[in-house]
A and B are shown apart, each in its own frame.
With several copies, the nearest count.
Chain A
Amino acid sequence: MKTESAISIQSKIESLLFLHGEPISVARLSKALSASEAEIEVGLEDLAQRYVLPESGLTLIRNGKNAELATRAENAPDVEAMLVSDREETLGKATMETLSVVAYRGPVSRASIDAIRGVNSSFALRSLLLRGLIDRRPNPFDAREFEYTPSFRLFELLGIGSNGELPEYATLSRDPRLAAREEHSDATDADVPEEDVPEDARTEE
């Protein structure tokens, strides 16, 4: 098809490398894009050529039969500065609330965290993982799902041995309002009672 072929193989390779944080082999790219390894090699060449232009911020790293996307070497100072500043930054309300839910409720699934907070928590969880404040592991009962726990280093920092030592843990971790929220999260549009009062109703007063 005309429109299909207008998007070059170079473009598709770039999309795949962009999403993948690690090197990908030429063989794997060839399989994923149903193209010969020779075609992939040409695509990678073209990509590398394009990245040489001064307006590009990316670079292609080749290591034998593997390829990986990275930031342009000349931009390293800016990149480093951003990594450092991000880690020194204070955590926002959303991230702190997510941390508190993991601390009091961990091990806890993302779906439960979302339901308890009433909003999607994926950005907050990613930040907390990067900062080593929480850990992620596959749910032993459902391999498709992860569960989140506070990290040991977090406990060390807080000077406690387990989350049971958090203030008012027994009451707060079993607050009945939590269960009510989690129940509602798997209801679909159709079967939720209309009288259901949403969490943000109070803002309307």
Chain B
Amino acid sequence: MPYHVRIRQFEGPLELLLTLIEGRKLDITQVSLAEVADQYLERLASERESISLSNLSEFLVIAARLILIKSKMLLPVLQFTDEEEESMEDLEIRLIEYKRFKDAAEAIGKMLLNRKRSFPREKFLGAPETFSPPKGLSTDVLRRHFLSVLGDMPVKEALIEEVIEEVVSLEERILTLQASLRKRAEYGFRELIANAEDRMDVIVSFLAVLELVKQRFVVVSQGNAFGDIRIATSAVESDRKKES
């Protein structure tokens, strides 16, 4: 197996977004967010393997917001809930704030490099050392404290498992969708999310569809602004089926 070299210029979704916006020399606004939405989704899809599990859900949440912003730009007549409106504006605020800290990090980095710095004095410098143990010190006290240090060790915990579940569900959703489309040529997105339990569920389905579009497994179409998204097996995929 060849070496898999990870080359990534960005660490998190905000950094990716900022890179995309600054790459086009845009200011941070709803319009510029809508403009880079597709690019963001593409990068997310193509580099998903190198994104850590613990960060993936944040990438997905921001993807969902970008999709909202983009649909708002494309279809100004669409009505959004207060919550959705807020989440769109919040992304803008977050990105501006993130950029400020990124710039501050650079400024602090420069300060660390200059030769201006203070030095502290050691505690009780020059004072004689005198044996002064704390009251009640015993071997058992030491043992208990050592155990407490050991207890601070990394534990694989629930948080990560939840994220894994999300990722698994995205993968599963793609498989389910593929399987369903093999049985029937066309589906409606509403049909697909009829049993969605929450918002995240809808997002996962949507991303699954995007992933399939990307893999040229399906084509999607939308008859009118409020119409359902129709998902159909792509021509490429139909040909593939015929051949086999």
Contacts and interface: CB of A to CB of B under 8 A. Distances in A.
Query: CB–CB under 8 A between A and B in the complex?
Result: yes
A137 to B, nearest CB: 14
Most chain B CB atoms below 10 A, which of A115, A165, A180, A195: A195
B138 A158 contact: yes
Interface size class of A (residues with CB under 8 A): 35 or more
B120 A99 contact: no
Interface size class of B (residues with CB under 8 A): 35 or more
Contact of B119 (A71, A87, A177): A71
A118 B144 CA distance: 18
Contact of A72 (B12, B105, B118, B148): B118
A129 interface: yes
Q: Would you call the interface of chain B mostly helix, strand, loop, or mixed?
A: helix
A90 B154 CA distance: 26
Given A70-B118, A129-B129, A172-B104, A100 B55 contact: no
Interface in A51-105: 59, 61, 68-74, 76-77, 79-80, 83, 86-91, 93-94, 96-97, 99-101, 103-104
Most chain A CB atoms below 10 A, which of B53, B96, B114, B125: B125
Interface in B112-167: 112, 114-127, 129-135, 137-150, 152-160
Interface in B11-44: 11-15
B139 A166 contact: yes
B21 to A, nearest CB: 14
Given A21-B120, A21-B125, A205-B159, A118 B130 contact: no
Contact of A104 (B54, B89, B140, B142): B142
Interface of B: 11-15, 52-55, 58, 62, 82, 85-86, 89-90, 93-94, 96-98, 100-102, 104-109, 111-112, 114-127, 129-135, 137-150, 152-160
Interface of A: 15, 18-22, 59, 61, 68-74, 76-77, 79-80, 83, 86-91, 93-94, 96-97, 99-101, 103-104, 114-120, 123, 126-127, 129-133, 151-160, 165-168, 171-172, 175-178, 180-181, 193-202, 204-205
